[in-house]
Structure 1
Amino acid sequence: MATTTPTALVTPRRGFRLVLRNRKAAAGLIILGVFALVAALGELIAPYDPDALSPALLEGPSGAHWLGTTNTGQDILSQLIAGTRGVLLVGLLAGAIATVLSIVVGVTAGFVGGAGDEALSLLANVFLVIPALPLIIIVASLLPSAGGTTVALVIGLTGWAWGSRILRAQTLSLRRRDFVQAARANGESLWRIVFFEILPNLTAIIASGFIGTVIFAVLSQITLAFIGVTSVSDWNWGTILFWAQSNQALAQGAWWWFVPAGLCIALLGTALTLVNFGIDEFVNPRLRTGGNRPVKGIRPRVGFTPVRRKETS
């Protein structure tokens, strides 16, 4: 007769180490770490003031200006470094707000059921039809000084509904599972069931929603800056592309003015996607390959809660 006995939960530290063993996640985290370091140091490593003018007009990469200059002699590398902080702050702030709201609304709706579920589902349905980008454009037109923080708040407050619907559906399934029923029978508190039984099994969905929101927020900020909707006095990668397009950098053959910003956007998106793939493979043993093979004798459920099967007569 086969019985199941739960093994120890994967601790956050051990889980982080296991994620790092995944090559995709490790590569993504390294790239994100480089961007975070550049954003943190900012002015300390920028060779020039990004707003400073110089007589070196529209010069290509050189020893004095590693990524060249603009048509007014501004150093493009300094602008790129100064814009990294704004891009990351907007993405992380929007992702954090949307993720917290989706967890609170989605998990609560799926776990409590009844009238509470219907009310929260109605609220999510209302926010599902609110378009974020047009709303940002309207807000920016009403607030000429609107910058990255405004963009992050609008995206975070309007971008949680889809994730909450997915979390609600998964929570409805998980609350009927044997391990949740066993926790209830043992007299576990509601909060412990949610935080130690439900949420660990939603890790992949939560991480995917967070990363998706971060990518959307970054691209939205860059797009709005590129078309001149938000303030172009605050440096970000979209602002660099705005001034390059306004001064016809492509027509003048000044590739160094817009290519580095485009590469940074692509690298950041790639890094976030790789981290998402790594987390997905970690929480789903069927996706594990190479160094992330499942531990022998352990059959994980969805998420971090494994069980060990023992054969007894």
Structure 2
Amino acid sequence: MSENPSNPTPAPDVADLALAEAEQTDRIDHGPGWFRILWSSRKARAGIVLLGLYVLLAILAPVIAPYRGDDTSFAPVLLPGGEHLMGTTTQGADIFSQLIWGTRVSLVVGLFGGLFATAVGLVIGLTSGYFEGTWIDDVLSLLTNVALVVPTLPLIITLMAYSEVRSIWFTILIIGIISWAGAARSKRALMITLRHRDFVTAAKFAGDRTPTIIAREILPQMTSLVAAGFFGAATGAIGAEAGLSFLGLGNTESVSWGTMLYQAQLQGALAQGLWVWLLVPGLALSGLIMALTLINFGIDLISNPHLREDG
């Protein structure tokens, strides 16, 4: 029985099949598009690797550090060498062990301080921008403007100086409460732009509720801005905690890079030849802040394609 020539089976388009296969292979080999853009930047790549090293140090602190950071059972003022790679403090603590254990404190402060400040700024900024022109926007904008003009560092120092609580979590709370205003201002401006887009109007006509519109339609458009705000807030939180500890306003009983600097200058480390005690926590802080800053450069490439040529 012969085939019916009037109804031929359509042959597959070879070009379309090849293109689809190439796109699938590209997705498998190179991962999400945002990560490819981020990884293509030499600055961001260096920042990711450096941050990864800090995270590994924090996770493996019990394995890498030869002693606990609060162990003061050794002879004081030992110079680098022998069983103590970086020497010991005037209290008899191993400097290298304190450096490794202090990584955890800085990463915890950066993570939770950044998340808290970003979350507060995001909620206030989105709410203010979405209800632009209403009394809600007026109240939140006034609150944001007041928070922006208040000098941040003196306020943090004053609050910490008169507080009887000196835990790391209280420090994170204070830093987060003080640091949200800049993020709220930028997110409000972007929200005002996005809320007039066609896809938001379509969602309103479809009967979607306001929280649904914000979560499904608007937030995905703000991912790079939120990420950049988080890394910026984390950088500020790490620096603020170190500064407060250096001034003696942090938890002096904990082992952090800031308390190492505080104890080093308090005990006259340089006069006793313990320059390592003063130098290494400062270098560690600088390296972590630089890693977060370099990653932020890569995030800028995601939101601004004009910067991608230089990477």
Provide the TM-score with structure 1 as the length reference.
0.80
Q: Could you say what secondary structure the match of 1:258 adopts?
A: helix
1:171 corresponds to which residue? 191
Q: Could you say what secondary structure the match of 2:270 adopts?
A: coil
2:69 to 50, 53, 60: 50
- Cα separation, 2, equivalents of 1:289 and 1:146: 47
Q: Could you say what secondary structure the match of 2:249 adopts?
A: coil
Judging changes above 3 Å, is the alpha-carbon distance between structure 1 residues 71 and 200 closer, same or farther for their aligned structure 2 residues? same
- Cα separation, 2, equivalents of 1:54 and 1:70: 11
Q: Answer 1 or 2: higher relative contact order, Cα 8 Å, separation at least 6.
A: 1
Moved more, 191-200 or 258-267: 191-200
Gaps of 5+ in 1: 1-9, 293-313
2:131 aligned with 1:143: no
2:129 corresponds to which residue? 110
Shift of 1:274: 0.7
- Cα separation, 1, equivalents of 2:72 and 2:98: 12
2:56 to 22, 34, 37: 37
1:4 corresponds to which residue? none
2:174 to 126, 131, 154: 154
Judging changes above 3 Å, is the alpha-carbon distance between structure 1 residues 180 and 271 closer, same or farther for their aligned structure 2 residues? same
Aligned residues: 280
Shift of 1:168: 0.7
Gaps of 5+ in 2: 1-26
2:106 aligned with 1:91: no
Conserved? CA contact 2:74–2:88, under 8 Å: no
2:156 aligned with 1:124: no
Shift of 1:132: 3.8
2:217 aligned with 1:201: no
1:295 corresponds to which residue? none
Shift of 1:158: 2.0
* Partner amino acid, structure 2, of 1:44: V
Provide the TM-score with structure 2 as the length reference.
0.81
Conserved? CA contact 2:109–2:172, under 8 Å: yes
2:57 aligned with 1:24: no
2:259 to 239, 244, 257: 239
More helix by share: 2
2:10 corresponds to which residue? none
1:304 corresponds to which residue? none
Conserved? CA contact 2:34–2:302, under 8 Å: no
- Cα separation, 1, equivalents of 2:222 and 2:257: 33
More strand by share: 1
- Cα separation, 1, equivalents of 2:118 and 2:297: 18
